[in-house]
Amino acid sequence: MGKSQNGENLGTETVSDGGDEQNNPDELSSEPGFKFDQILKDVDQFIETLDSGENNFTCIDQFLEMVDSEIAAYELRKASAKFGLNMEEFFEAVKLLWTIIRRLEELPSDSGATSCLNRAGSEHHRAMLLLENEFRTLLDINTDRNEGETKLKTVEEFPYFSPESVSIMNRIGSTMIFAGYEAECCIAYSGLRLKALDAELSKLSFENINVDDAERMSWESLEVEIGNWLHIMKHCTNNLFSEERTLCNSVFSEHPSIAQRLFCELSTSLTMRLLNFPNALVLPRQYSTEKLFKFLDIYEALRDLNNMEIGNYLSAKEFMSDTFTVQCRIGETAVSIFSQLENSIESDNAGRIPVAGGAVHPLTRYTMNYLKYACEYKDTLEQVFQKHNEMEGLTVQKVQENYIEKDDRFLPASPFALKLVEVMDLLDANIEMKSKLYRSPSLRYIFLMNNGRYILQKLKESTDIYDMLGHSWSRKRTSELRQYHKLYQRDTWSNVLQTISHEGVQVNGKVSKPILKERFKNFNALFEEILKTQSTWVVSDGQLKSELRVSISSVMIPAYRSFVGRFQSYFDNSKQAGKYIKYQPEDIEELIEQLFEGNTTSMIRRS
Amino acid sequence: MPSTDYQGSSSPLTNLGRSFLPLRRDQVHSMESPIGGSPSNEAELESFQRQVADRFHDLASVPSDELLSLPWVRKLIDAFLCCQEEFRVILFNNRTPVKKPPMDRLIADYNERAVKALDVCNAIRDGIEQIRQWQKLIEIVLCALGGDNNSYQRSLGEGQFRRARKALVDLAIAMLDEKDSGQALAHRNRSFGRHNNSSSHSKDHHHRSLGHFRSLSWSVSRSWSAARQLQAIGNNLAVPRGNEVLATNGLAMPVYTMGSVLLFVMWALVAAIPCQDRGLQVHFNFPRQFPWAAPIISLHERILEESKKRDRKNACGLLREIYQMEKCSRLLGELADSVQFPLNEEKEKEVKQRVNELKQVSDAMKEDLEPLEKQVREVFHRIVRNRTEGLDSL
């Protein structure tokens, strides 16, 4: 004390009694020099020997005199630059003053301390006022700019205080709290921080949207607001709250419970504003299935908010309860949107007109892509459905269907996984129903294969769905596909194969030419019919298409080759042979490659 | 029909639920009453009217020093929540006719009103927060002048008075209507300047008051107006016509009743608690044939009268505790301005007396403010819950 920052003794300037403007402000606090020290020593000693007997309050008076002039000097300084580098002495003096007051108050009322006490009290309040004003000025960054006074150094990032400012605020806060002015300190802090947070939100283009207005907004407008809200929430949970907490802890580093309380209150206030919008979104409205993802985003933002450690103070309970309530409601909304998927699958019967060429149905595409996208939110959806079940009091029955095979183990399925299975079952049933619209069994099987294959393909692309449905589900599907394949083969090609069967060509041990001619005629007719029809059918999956063709070829071509090989010589001449044997085995091979191309030369046929 | 008590639950799950009403689909069907009104339906409707009437008679029978007090306001909200629950049960018990016109339109109207009330709830919460801030200032006064339990008996010095005076001035400014705060600032600087040692102070105080507390447009948009919102809630609130009553099998009546109750309760809250653009000019027209009309109309008149009284005309809220706070602090402020030091015994006694009065008000507020806020939140959540349920079950 009494020395400048670099340790030099700053001379013997006399104590002036009202603040000497000519003094260098930075050296002000060192002005009383060694006399300051002496006074403090005297006071310390005085306090120690304080008793109810005779007391000489002279040294106290001197001390008060000194403090008075210090305060006056500080008051004259410009706002926001009051406390420079040597303020520590002043704070110590203020604290000492409070200590004196407390000690004096303990004395009985007749000890003659009254006038001294009174004067001390006045100085004390004056000092507190000084501190409070300075505290406010430091906290209220914007004011500086408006007033055009010397700007405090600020930093670019929220909350924009330089470490020096924070340090000074810390000292002021500690002193005020020590000296019984905690209330004023906290009111100032809360009020100005709230104002700053408000300004920060405005910078992020946050605006209060009344519930009433939100309810009437179109989805397009809502979507914009949701995007904005999500952005702001992210900023709050990632930056704002933690920065604010850090500030609280820095300013009130010596009083962690106060820091905690103030932070709790601030974050609760802030959250209240943020929750208003999602509360409006859960009011009933027809949300179509695609809106699911926005709601899941909102759910996740609320979950992140809820997961923040706000602390244990009372208002934290309110914060968490409110956040949790909205989060649940949003979750419920998400559940109902997802459930609409089931409704739309069930009710989709496409006007009873089957898809041309047995192709993959748009509903299949939509559903699988939807589910694939949804599973990117898998964890969130699991949570949402879990919560939904809890609230509905639903329990998953421990039956075999509700166990899903994963890595050779059978695990109970989560509510969402079960939901997924439900959706898939509905889709299956719908595809099944639609397949019956085809009069031709073969086309029916092609349709079933197309859609089944598409589903399996999509599953492969998303391990999440695959895992949730489990191995046995996929295995079952795959074997079903194989079954359809066989059925198709039989339905389309067995008749054809019969025409080129070696059996029944002979009559009484001799090859019958009429039968042979009939056979070839039939073969050609059937084959051409199939070609004509089934070339218009569609198999979009390249692999499935080639599998089909290959399995047809592998049966047809050897059979045909062998038939032709065996019986073509029975024709009289090559001209006659040519009339009946329209196709060579190589031709058959080529023509089979035309199957399932979806040639649109013919109209939609139910054949 | 049993009277339903609203369970003030703190668990968020019951806010969401399916609370005490079984709403599973299988149970729903068994509770549907036939379309052609049965005696149970009539009894139910009548019982509802009676319950509402009873509650408001209760509320109306208080002496004027209890009217618009914190406990009374809390009772009012309680009454609202009970009425709302009973209304919900009625709708639930009459699910089929509720879906048919014109009942569906009537319900939709009511729902719209209820949604508007949500914003009022938010605004009221802001107002309660404001009051809480005033409460903090009062605590400073009490601490300074020995009104809190912590300070021991000592004679009061100048410093303490200055501290109290400063807090009182801050309080006075904070309690003025927002639109007057510009003038208030000037006044305050003047009055404070008298006791200043340094003139630089008044300039410093300039920054202070505005944005001091969480403003009244913390939760609602800047252009939101309580007056307009109330008018919107009351918009087209008309007594059901004879043919409507017939067509809805009497159900139009409870819908109208609930709408009226909603309007009145929101209006009373706005009257009591500070909020943005707090206008009380709303047209009330409840026909006397309803048993609840008389007490509600009487309350309405009494509250309006209160708002016109000379010393309450510019109040930021008619809550009795606000009045007491304002009066006590003003008297104490005047007293504090007039004291000379050292205090004589008589003055000291006077000061202690005023401080005690202020303490009583403060204690009363401390007890009831938080529960009040909780209740308002409950109203908010109930309305949302009833709306979100509405889609599932109706």
Tokens linked to A412: 């109970």
Report the predicted TM-score, pTM, of the whole model to 2 decimal places. Answer: 0.83
Contact criterion met (CB < 8 Å) for A212 and B118: yes
Q: What is the pLDDT of residue A576?
A: 81
Q: Per the structure block, which two tokens stand in for B75?
A: 């009772």
Residue B306 has pLDDT above 80, yes or no: yes
Residues from chain A that touch B123, judged by Cβ atoms under 8 A, are none
Residue A594 is encoded by which pair of tokens?
């035309």
**With an 8 Å Cβ cutoff, are B342 and A191 in contact?**
no
Return the closest-CA partner of residue A248 out of A139, A142, A130.
Answer: A139
Residue A458 above 70 pLDDT? yes
Under an 8 A CB cutoff, do B201 and A133 touch?
yes
Q: What is the mean pLDDT of residues B61-68?
A: 93
Mean pLDDT along residues B157-166:
91
Say yes or no to pLDDT of A17 above 70.
no
What's the gap in Å between the CA of A404 and the closest CA on chain B?
Answer: 28
Sequential DSSP letters for A6-57: TS-B---PPPPSS--TTS-GGGGGGTTTHHHHHHHHHHHHHHHT--SS---T
Give the pLDDT band (50/70/90) at residue B149.
low
pLDDT at A263: 93
**What is the mean pLDDT of the segment spanning A53-81?**
75
Please tell me which residue, A43 or A526, carries the higher pLDDT value: A526
Is the pLDDT confidence value at B237 over 50? yes
The confidence score (pLDDT) of residue A549 equals: 94
Out of A114, A269, A282, name the one closest to residue B388 (CB).
A282
- Cβ-defined contact of B219 to A207 (cutoff 8 Å): no
Contacts of B16 in chain A (CB under 8 A): 325, 328-329, 332, 391
ipTM for the complex shown = 0.83
Q: How far is A79 from chain B (nearest CA, A)?
A: 7
Q: What number is the average pLDDT over the span B161-176?
A: 90
Considering only residues 322 to 351 of chain A, which have any Cβ-Cβ distance to chain B shorter than 8 Å?
Answer: 322, 324-325, 328-329, 332-333, 336
Q: pLDDT tens-digit profile of B171-229?
A: 988 887 554 544 444 554 444 433 333 333 433 343 344 445 567 778 898 889 999 99
Band of residue A400 on the pLDDT scale cut at 50, 70, 90: low
A284 → closest Cβ in B137, B140, B391 = B391
pLDDT at site B300: 95
Residue A334 has pLDDT above 60, yes or no: yes
Mutation pick from B23, B119, B142 vs chain A, by most beta carbons of A within 10 Å, is B119
Among A32-46, B38-52, B81-95, B300-314, the minimum mean pLDDT is found in A32-46
Examine the pLDDT at B297 and tell me if it is beyond 80.
Answer: yes
Q: What percent of chain B has pLDDT over 70?
A: 77
A392 in contact with B at a CB cutoff of 8 Å?
yes
Other residues' Cβ atoms within 10 Å of the Cβ of residue A11:
10
Question: pLDDT at position B120, please?
Answer: 96
Q: Do A114 and B10 make contact, defined as CB atoms within 8 angstroms?
A: no
Q: How many CA atoms lie within 13 A of A71 on its CB side?
A: 26
pLDDT of residue A567: 87
Pairing of strands A409-412, A403-406: antiparallel
Distance between CA atoms of residues B257 and B55, nearest Å:
13
pLDDT digits 0-9 by tens, B240-276: 999 988 888 889 999 999 999 999 999 999 999 999 9
Q: How far apart are CA B73 and CA B76, in angstroms?
A: 5
Q: Which of B137, B160, B214 has its CB closest to that of A269?
A: B214
Query: Which of A284-288, A523-527, A599-603, B100-104 has the weakest average pLDDT?
Result: A599-603
> Which of the 8 DSSP states describes residue A3?
B
Chain B residues close to A324, C-beta within 8 Å:
12
Query: What average pLDDT is seen over chain B?
Result: 81
Q: What are A409's strand-pairing partners?
A: A406
Arithmetic mean of pLDDT, A291-317: 87
Question: What is the spatial distance between Cα A166 and Cα A187, in angstroms, rounded to a whole number?
Answer: 17
- Can you tell me the mean pLDDT for A202-216? 90
Q: Which pLDDT score is estimated for B196?
A: 38
Chain B residues touching A144 at Cβ < 8 A: none
Q: How far is B42 from chain A (nearest CA, A)?
A: 30
pLDDT of residue A604: 38
Rounded Cα–Cα distance for residues B145 and B328 (Å): 14
Question: Mutation test of the interface with chain A: which of B130, B148, B154, choosing the one with the most A Cβ atoms within 10 A?
Answer: B154
Cα dihedral B144→B145→B151→B155 (10° resolution):
120
Position B110 pLDDT exceeds 90: yes
Mutation target for A interface from B23, B170, B212: give the one with most A CBs within 10 A.
Answer: B212
Are the beta carbons of B87 and B254 closer than 8 angstroms?
yes
State how far the Cα of B8 lies from the Cα of B20, in Å rounded to an integer: 12
Contact (CB<8Å) B221/A322: no
Which of B167, B213, B224 is opposite residue A191, by nearest beta carbon? B213
Q: Exposed, middle or buried: residue A18 (CB in 10 Å: 0-12, 13-18, 19+)?
A: exposed
pLDDT over 70 (residue A34): no
Q: Where are the alpha helices (DSSP H) in chain B?
A: 12-16, 25-31, 39-60, 70-93, 95-99, 103-144, 158-175, 181-193, 200-205, 226-234, 242-247, 252-272, 293-308, 320-338, 345-393
Residue A420 is predicted with a pLDDT of 92
Q: Does A201 touch chain B (CB under 8 A)?
A: no
Residue A291 carries which DSSP code?
Answer: G
- Whole-number Å distance between alpha carbons of A390 and A398: 16
* Top-confidence residue, B148 or A270: A270
Q: What is the enclosing helix (H) or strand (E) of B283?
A: none
Q: Is it the case that residue A172 has pLDDT exceeding 80?
A: yes
List the beta strands (DSSP E) in A332-479: 403-406, 409-412
Q: Which amino acid is at B346?
A: E
CATH topology of domain A500-607: Monooxygenase (1.20.1280)
Minimum-distance CB partner of A283 among B140, B163, B384: B384
Report the sign of the C-alpha dihedral through residues A266, A267, A268, A270, in that order: positive
Instruction: Using CB atoms within 10 Å of the CB of residue A246, give its burial: 0 to 12 exposed, 13 to 18 middle, 19+ buried.
Output: middle
Q: Sign of torsion, CA B37 B38 B44 B50?
A: positive
In the DSSP assignment, the letter for residue A240 is: I
Rounded Cα–Cα distance for residues A580 and A121 (Å): 126
Mind listing the pLDDT tens digit for each residue in A102-150? 888 877 766 677 888 888 999 999 999 999 999 998 898 764 444 444 4
Render pLDDT for A552-587 as a digit per residue (tens, 0 to 9).
999 999 999 999 888 888 888 888 888 888 888 899
Q: How high does pLDDT run on average in chain A?
A: 83
CB contact under 8 A, B384 and A329: yes
Query: Across A160-164, A377-381, A407-411, B95-99, which has the greatest mean pLDDT?
Result: A377-381
Going by C-alpha positions, the residue among A51, A70, A203 that lies closest to residue A113 is A51
Residue with tokens 């404001």: B130
Rounded percentage of chain B residues whose pLDDT exceeds 90: 52
Pairing of strands A409-412, A506-507: unpaired
CA distance B288 to chain A (A): 31
A111 residue type, one letter: S
